[in-house]
Amino acid sequence: MRKPLGILLLWAAGLVAGTPVQEHGALKVAGNRIVDQAGQPVRLAGMSLFWPLWGGERFFTKEVVDTLVDDWRCTLLRAPVGVEPKGGYLESPGPMKAGLKVVVDEAIARGVYILIDWHEEHAHRHTAQAKAFFEEMARTYGDKPNVIFEIWNEPAGNSAPIPSWPEIKAYSEQVIAVIRKHSSNLVVVGTPEWSQRLDLAADHPVVGTNLAYSLHFYAGSHGQPLRDKADYALSKGLAIFITEWGTTHADGGSSDRKVYTEASAQWLAWADQRQIPWANWSLMDKDESSSALLPGASNKGAWPEVALSPSGRWVREQIRKRSSPPATPATR
């Protein structure tokens, strides 16, 4: 049946009726908060997909996005682009962009926010490639209020060369300039030492507008000292976006296999109080405790509870607590 022109125009703009993006519109930074089109802080919660390598690419499907929106009630998704590893963007950009397009297009169609994540530790060594990638992404998606650009996932903290904040800042300003040719959308800047040293960024922030700074934590490894650094950054006026966090040790839980729900709850309460959006790592079936799915889970979504890991069950509950009932599926 032919759909009214108004519905088709809303879908094309990413403003699907009754969805988070229709409610909040394009995000922007006001002071040290990320706010919506009405100037009100937004509470976004959702999932990050895994590296689109080593089996993670199986989950870059429309069905996975639909399940995360309809059942998990995610208002935010994160789509990493694996850059350096064999088979990644530097070696095979076509497959990386093809998988990304599936997820981003479906997130737009479903009216949720989507982080396009340049998933790399040494991005300053590949500035030219990052600029070309984000120019293409900004030209393609820069008019969609759904899309957020995460320009450097996690600057290295222990693998040489360790990028300094001045190097991260210089890279960021070059990439942001390319994005700004096409889009005023929110940009998230990586911070030193695996996106944990927001205090260093706070003393000499990037020059630009509509910028937030990434904070990453793993509840089994990081606690109050890292929150103190983040609070310092907030006190200096930086807006924070938790683009990746885990319920486990920083190794993904591969060593002790534990899920630290009490420590995770402390972190999420802290983020709620400060109105900081977040995405959990990760929507994957890898045999480690930070994965939300158990090994062998379907890449068609609609997972029964028995297919979810202990972390996945707990995180799904946290997302649903923080989200409105799902919007009516988009008609397209």
Residue ranges and CATH numbers for the domains of the chain are: 5-155+162-321 (3.20.20.80)
Task: Return all residues near 290 (Cβ < 8 A) that are at least 6 apart.
Answer: 218, 246, 247, 248, 252, 253, 281, 282, 311
Q: Taking the model in full, what pTM does it have?
A: 0.93
**Tens-digit pLDDT profile for residues 284-323:** 999 999 999 999 999 999 999 999 999 999 999 999 999 8
In angstroms, the CA 45 to CA 30 distance is 20
The yes-or-no verdict on residue 260 having pLDDT over 50 is: yes
**Residues catalogued as catalytic:** 154, 244
Q: Measuring CA to CA, which residue among 97, 159, 87 is closest to residue 122?
A: 159
pLDDT, position 13 = 54
Distances (CA, A) of 304 to 121, 132, 309, 313, 325: 35, 41, 11, 10, 19
302 in Cβ contact with 54 (< 8 Å): no
The yes-or-no verdict on residue 332 having pLDDT over 60 is: no
pLDDT, position 7 = 42
Two tokens at 150? 């995460």
With cut-offs at 50, 70 and 90, classify the pLDDT of residue 219.
very high
331 vs 180, more confident: 180
**Tens-digit pLDDT profile for residues 2-59:** 444 444 445 455 567 799 999 999 999 999 999 999 999 999 999 999 999 999 999 9
Two tokens at 148? 């957020």
Percent of the chain at pLDDT exceeding 70 = 92
Q: Which helix (H) or strand (E) holds 188?
A: strand 187-189
Q: How many CB atoms lie within 10 A of CB 302?
A: 12
